[in-house]
Structure 1
Amino acid sequence: MFKGGNINQLMKMAKQLQNQAARMKEEIEQMEFTGTAGGEAVKVVAKGSGELVSIEISPELFESGDREMVQDLVLAAANQALREAKEKMAKELERITGGLGIDMGGLF
């Protein structure tokens, strides 16, 4: 069992972890992540918040006339950028919590 002082210490540490995680989440939400597809013929930049920032499509892709291929490449590049943001968030959360699998109160 925990003694009174230990529970208070544990609660204080939990609050500090939660504050650290909240700051880290805000920082990552502002970071930009890049996804590419088709040998970098399509490049998508997204913020860690999930907001798309830009999409670049090589002019050669339009010359192919294959609309479905262009759509698939844009989708693949966007998903890659968003996946990288999510992985960064998970890595940083694991670093903060020491891999303890602590629930950070719905922050993520």
Structure 2
Amino acid sequence: MFKGLGGLGDMAGMMKKAQEMQAKVGEMQDGLSEIQVQGESGAGLVKATATAKGDLVALDIDPSIFKPDEKEMVEDLILAAIKDAQARAAERSREEMGKMAESLGLPPGMKLPF
């Protein structure tokens, strides 16, 4: 009766695995908002903290840099710290997604989510 269905049984299994993978990726993405990384500039005078999703959550500025004639330098340091935090967040996100892909048996370098 089911001779002509070929690999439909395999298809159902693949669909189930795809749903499981999608759920795991969703959990991982939610977890990225819990992971925090810190970027800095000016030898630590300005520090920016971001989640692994790239959301800025904190900014710490050493009060010694608040001099009216150095406004542009302070702005540059703040931007540099934020960019550093975002770059570190992106790298951490890639690492976490790589771990997820590896645990699912996917080839190295395969990007998640698809």
Q: Distance in 1 between matches of 2:112 and 2:100?
A: 12
Q: Distance in 2 between matches of 1:87 and 1:53?
A: 17
User: Equivalent residue for 1:101?
Assistant: 110
Q: Distance in 1 between matches of 2:112 and 2:23?
A: 13
Aligned length: 104
Structure 2 unmatched ranges of 5 or more: 1-5, 103-107
Cα shift at 1:101:
2.1
| TM-score normalised by length of structure 1 | 0.81
Deviations 1:33-56 (A, max 9, x none): 211101001011122343322211
> Which moves more between the two structures, 56-65 or 78-87?
56-65
Distance 1:53 1:100, change over 3 A: closer
Structure 1 unmatched ranges of 5 or more: none
1:4 to 8, 30, 50: 8
Cα shift at 1:21:
0.9
User: Equivalent residue for 2:84?
Assistant: 80
Q: Distance in 2 between matches of 1:8 and 1:100?
A: 27
Counterparts of 1:1-108 in structure 2, within 5 Å, are 3-63=7-67, 65-98=69-102, 99=108, 101=110, 104=113
* Percent sequence identity over aligned pairs: 28
Cα shift at 1:95:
1.9
| TM-score normalised by length of structure 2 | 0.77
Look up the equivalent residue of 1:50 and give its one-letter code.
G
Look up the equivalent residue of 1:84 and give its one-letter code.
R
Larger radius of gyration: 2
Distance 1:6 1:101, change over 3 A: same
